[in-house]
Structure 1
Amino acid sequence: SIKLVLKMLDRQMAVIDKNIDGMLKEHFAEKLALFKDFKGVGPCMQAALMGALPELGQLTHAQIGKLVGVAPLNADSGRHKGKRITWGGRATVRTTLYMAALSAIRYNPVIKTFYERLLANGKLKKVALVACMHKMLTIMNAIVKSGIPWNPEHQNVSKNA
């Protein structure tokens, strides 16, 4: 009987996934097309962005980072200078962004280079990963704001021009 329940749950999850995919394509096709070639931004990240972060593309990079909870905030008090930490924000987007960043540091050349540079400069792995999350969010915000699709060669093109 447990196997039957598991099969039923698998079927229901497949139907829900199909419904989510259909809704995303129906309502957010233009925005999602902008992320088509952005390695690390898959269906789960797209669903989280469209469903839980409607402000994407309308805020500055500092505002969107703070809203999601990946912006470094100071922990200072008086003369005490504490470490910068990230906290608060929209946990749903942040946790999905964490998984997307793990994928991006392996497969996205821009994010991978950024991550490796941070590690080479002595940053802790978790700190570098959160910085990659922030960079990815900033890039996605800029993509939606400008309406220009992701181009990993953008920095190289602008330097050569």
Structure 2
Amino acid sequence: MIFSPDYVGVDVSKKHLDLAITGSSRLRVSNNPAGMARLVQKISSLTRPHLVCEATGSYTRLMARSLSQHGIALSTINPRRVRDLARADGLLAKTDAIDAAAILRFAHLMHPDPDPLYDPNAVEMADLVRRRRQMVDMLAMEKQRREHPEAALAQASIDAHIGFLSSQIGEMDRAITRQIDSDATLRRRAELLTTIPGIGQTTAAVLLAEMPELGGIGNKQAAALAGVAPFNRDSGEMRGQAHIAGGRLSVRCALYMATLSAIRANPPIRDFYKRLRAQGKPGKLAIVAAMRKLITTANAVLANNTPWHTNNTPWHTNTA
């Protein structure tokens, strides 16, 4: 007989954690090492503690590290899902205590899967990849500004900033490479991903940092996390057009560029794309379908721990 975990709803802020525990009064602890010790002590009486919180970036890291050290499960979820449930319950007020209770109710209804164990190397990798993406975005904006006539001093300033950003992006690329090389697991996963034509070192780094679940989940879930899974829009007799929705934007952007390369260099992806176009499918639809095929191929390669080859197609994965 499988027993439900003892869920704990946690509202996370910069300074505090507000806890909601079934059958217990609400508790607030500080978001610092002393507060984490108090948190672990408080939930030690629970049979199978499983904490659930909204994704709040770096504010959850200390808690994730502390819970991982004690073997306690943690799930981070999209805040919008909790707010949608709260609105459905008619709960319009918003305080830290109310949010913690709403998260607890969500946990009991949805039974979220635990996050992977806290890995400091993976966290640092994610920071580096995120910072690189920020600088690439800044570089693109500066290049756009450079196209418009400006005073000589303004143009010189833009050029200097472009040069600085370019050098910093190069340094970040080297730092990401060093981070991957320093961790045997990351290095092996990167090596496997880059055997797939179309996926280079930059895309591999994004997938490793932003989609660590890859290789341990099913193909449908992989497509959904990447934001390339189609969702139907049907009602009654009406049959609408399916559209992609949600997912991780950074992964989808990297996957899009990788797919454009794969359409040229990866025979199964290229043939799949051409077949869809020959059937009259719109170009954007065919690209999204190719993106879905590429991410599921990556999922299969990591799941099987085997380099890509032309017949290493998604259905060879041993995950459901």
Compute the TM-score of the two structures, normalised by the length of structure 1.
0.89
- Considering fraction of residues, name the structure with more strand: 2
1:140 deviates by 0.4
Structure 1 unmatched ranges of 5 or more:
none
Structure 1 residues 75 and 15: alpha-carbon distance in aligned structure 2, compared to 1, 3 A threshold: same
Report percent identity of matched pairs.
38
1:140 paired with 2:298, answer yes
Residue of structure 2 in register with 1:20 after alignment: 176
| Relative contact order higher in (CA < 8 Å, ≥ 6 apart) | 1
| d(CA) in 1 for partners of 2:160, 2:227 | 41
SS at match of 1:116: helix
Structure 1 residues 20 and 74: alpha-carbon distance in aligned structure 2, compared to 1, 3 A threshold: same
Residue of structure 1 in register with 2:197 after alignment: 39
Per-residue CA distance 1:45-78 (angstroms, 9 max, x = gap): 1011001001101111011111111011101123
Q: Which residue type is aligned with residue 129 of structure 1?
A: I
1:68-87 pair list within 5 angstroms: 68-87=226-245
Q: Which residue type is aligned with residue 85 of structure 1?
A: H
1:108-123 pair list within 5 angstroms: 108-123=266-281
1:154 deviates by 4.4
Residue of structure 2 in register with 1:128 after alignment: 286
| d(CA) in 2 for partners of 1:69, 1:44 | 19
- RMSD between aligned residues: 1.7
1:90 paired with 2:248, answer yes
Residue of structure 1 in register with 2:149 after alignment: none
CA contact (8 A) 2:190 2:201 kept: no
Match of 1:151 among 269, 284, 309: 309
1:4 deviates by 4.0
Residue of structure 1 in register with 2:257 after alignment: 99
1:84 deviates by 0.8
- Considering fraction of residues, name the structure with more helix: 1
1:153 deviates by 4.4
Structure 2 unmatched ranges of 5 or more:
1-155
Q: What number of residue pairs does the alignment pair up?
A: 156
SS at match of 2:239: coil
Deviates more, 1:7-16 or 1:140-149: 7-16
1:121 deviates by 1.2
| d(CA) in 2 for partners of 1:9, 1:66 | 33
Per-residue CA distance 1:89-125 (angstroms, 9 max, x = gap): 0000001101100111011111101100111111111
Structure 1 residues 30 and 75: alpha-carbon distance in aligned structure 2, compared to 1, 3 A threshold: same
| d(CA) in 2 for partners of 1:4, 1:89 | 36
CA contact (8 A) 2:263 2:273 kept: yes
Structure 1 residues 116 and 149: alpha-carbon distance in aligned structure 2, compared to 1, 3 A threshold: same
| d(CA) in 2 for partners of 1:125, 1:6 | 33
Q: Which residue type is aligned with residue 47 of structure 1?
A: A
| d(CA) in 1 for partners of 2:223, 2:172 | 30
Residue of structure 1 in register with 2:223 after alignment: 65
